[in-house]
Structure 1
Amino acid sequence: MPLDVKRLRVLRELAERGTVAATAAALSFTPSAVSQQLSALEREAGVVLLEREGRRLALTDAGRVLVAHADTVLAQLERAEADLHAASTEVSGTLNVAAFSSFARSLLPQAAAAMLRHQHLQLHVRDAEPQDSIPLLRLGELDVVIAQRFPYVPRDFGPAFHVVELFDDALHLATGPGHHDAPARFGALADRPWVAGHPGTSCHEVVIHACHAAGHEPRIVGFSNDFAVVAALVAQGVGLALIPEIAHDQAPPEVTLRPLDPPLSRQVLAVVRAGAEERPAVAAFLAELRAVAAGRPD
């Protein structure tokens, strides 16, 4: 019986995450669904891929062999599909795209609109943070993800993905009433209240790590990954925040935005499965993303 590609991706995720629970959380599955997918993959493979060690599932030798080939196999399948599509120069089929919220609001609509000229392409777009969209990209449910890489928070996508760097998006200190005297240096911001992203997200971690690097613990009093919400809280004097340049237009007049000293910026990236970048629809969309990025005002 041939191996199911989605189940092979689940096995690879288990090898990276270590537990069924962590794999389920990464893929937005239930643990039961992960176990069912892995059991079905074992039946397809005809060999035992996993064995129980206490409460954990561990890869057998056969499981490790299969995982070792997974990235190569999956990338080659993507390239094979790309070659098949490339036989026709027409951009067609279905393209599923996700972008983090500030990009989805500001730049994604331009790139999506440019793709409308391809009459035989069905484009589906959504807003989603990388921690939710990257697992769906792994499973083949998305084709392109717009992600972000923050300073102090390294994000290594690994050989399973092809990454295109679009632009650097400067992070500015946002201050409101009661805090306009705050210097734009992390070393001088001890004891100031902060509005940051939700715990576990890069927008949260960058504040934590930047303050730690400056020698103090941030006092975070507000949490949101929506920069309109963040800016509104800053405008009322609730706390300071880091707001990227592409979200400056969401800041009310009460908010002052200043470059940090030293400067900080996040990288905005387009991520696709390795090999898929050669597929005509994906290549066309990546070209539109590059054009939109290049056309941003300085």
Structure 2
Amino acid sequence: MALDVRRLRVLRELAARGTIAATAEALSYTPSAVSQQLSTLEREAGVELLERHGRGVRLTDAGRLLARHADGVLARLEAAEAELEAAGRTVMGTLRVASFNTAARWIVPHAVAGLLASHPHVEAHVVDDDPHATIPALRLGEFDVVLGHDFPFEAPLRDPGFYRVDLFDDELHLAFGPSRQGLPADFAALEGVPWVAGHPGTSCHGVVVHACHAAGHEPRIVACSNDYGVILELVSRDLGVSLAPRIAHRLAPPGVRLERLDPPLHRRIHALCRAGAERRPIVAAFLDQLRAAVAREVEGDGRLLAARPVA
């Protein structure tokens, strides 16, 4: 039995994405090409890997077993490639970075600019999206580095498939518009007050819901955005109150009051790459630039002193 690595990648994508069409889109193949690759892999494996399910297909038990092994095979291949690149010590190639919005505004541009200035043969692609979407995409190889965050109500992401660098702790403050300046910075006192939050399913939505539930009430969320520039603009127009991270404070329009919580509430900002990829020179160089950007943008900015760097 000889299994082709490229076809194992197709199987792994199908296991993650669920449909031939989504797999084809992710790999820039046609659906018929995906089907042909999987049919060939079945012949190589000598067992049925797929079965009809409604209008589509799903993996058989053997297909799921092989997909799990494919994850390990592809991870080991990437680790081997990373070690070979590290032996050459040349920083070159294309780096694909994904970041949540506030870090994409303040941290990532400085890190990417530093990387390109130091290594002119590098090309960088940057995407602004929520970690709930980008972390699964990192696992599938769509990105090389992803910036994410952990909120106190979430279990920290500790996955052996990822290499993690904790960058800093970003303090969250309550944001009040002009007509609500007299309200206390206390979730228990904000029952019935309208809220502006992140979109449902995001951590920036969940932190508002969790904090209000802990205070004994359901938040009345009237507007949602994943852009703190939009959130703080809505707060400034008195559409509601919100929680805003310290690194987003410079987006606050005049008239927005930002108040610390007691006890303080933080989210931890981190960078992830696939385990072993941290040895790739281009990834290692970018992680160094991220640390330097945090030192400048977080430690060096008087407005950001509450964001505590992580050792």
User: Normalised by the shorter chain, which TM-score bucket?
Assistant: 0.7 to 0.9
Q: TM-score, normalised by structure 2?
A: 0.83
Q: Is the 8 A contact 1:96 1:123 kept in 2?
A: yes
**C-alpha distance in 2, partners of 1:242/1:33?**
44
2: CA distance between counterparts of 1:107 and 1:131? 19
Q: Provide the C-alpha distance between the structure 2 equivalents of 1:9 and 1:286, rounded to a whole number of angstroms.
A: 28
Instruction: Identify the residue that residue 95 of structure 1 maps to in structure 2.
Output: 95
Aligned to 1:9: 12
Q: In structure 2, how many angstroms separate the alpha carbons of the residues matched to 1:136 and 1:163? A: 16
How far does the alpha carbon of each residue in 1:197-251 deviate from its partner, in whole angstroms, 9 at most, with x for none? Answer: 1122111111112211221100001111111111111111111101101100000
254-263 vs 135-144, which moves further: 135-144
Q: Distance in 2 between matches of 1:20 and 1:187?
A: 46
Task: For 1:246-265, list aligned pairs within 5 A.
Answer: 246-265=247-266
Q: Please identify, of 38-47 and 59-68, the stretch whose mean Cα deviation from structure 2 is larger.
A: 38-47
The whole-number CA distance in structure 2 between the counterparts of 1:64 and 1:107 is: 39
Deviations 1:61-95, CA, capped at 9 Å, x for gaps: 32232233233222211111111211211211111
Q: Is the 8 A contact 1:71 1:160 kept in 2?
A: no
Structure 1 residues 154-184: Cα deviation after superposition (integer angstroms, max 9, x where no partner): 4646333222211111111001122222222
Identity level (%): 51
C-alpha displacement of 1:34: 8.2
Moved more, 251-260 or 146-155: 146-155
Cα distance in structure 1, aligned partners of 2:85 and 2:213: 49
Cα separation, partners in 2 of 1:294 and 1:77, compared to 1, 3 Å: same
1:186 aligns with 2:187: yes
- Gap runs ≥5 in structure 2: 300-304, 306-311
State the shift of 1:43 in Å: 2.8
How far is the alpha carbon of 1:12 from its aligned partner?
4.4
Q: Which residue of 2 aligns with 1:139?
A: 140
One-letter identity of the residue aligned with 2:260: P
Aligned to 1:150: 151
Q: What is the distance in 1 between the residues matched to 2:207 and 2:35?
A: 35
- What is the 5 A alignment of 1:44-123? 44-46=41-43, 47-52=47-52, 59-115=59-115, 116-123=117-124
Under a length normalisation based on structure 1, what TM-score does the superposition of the two structures give? 0.86
The C-alpha deviation readout for 1:122-165, integer Å capped at 9, x for no partner, is 22223222233224323322211111222223464633322221
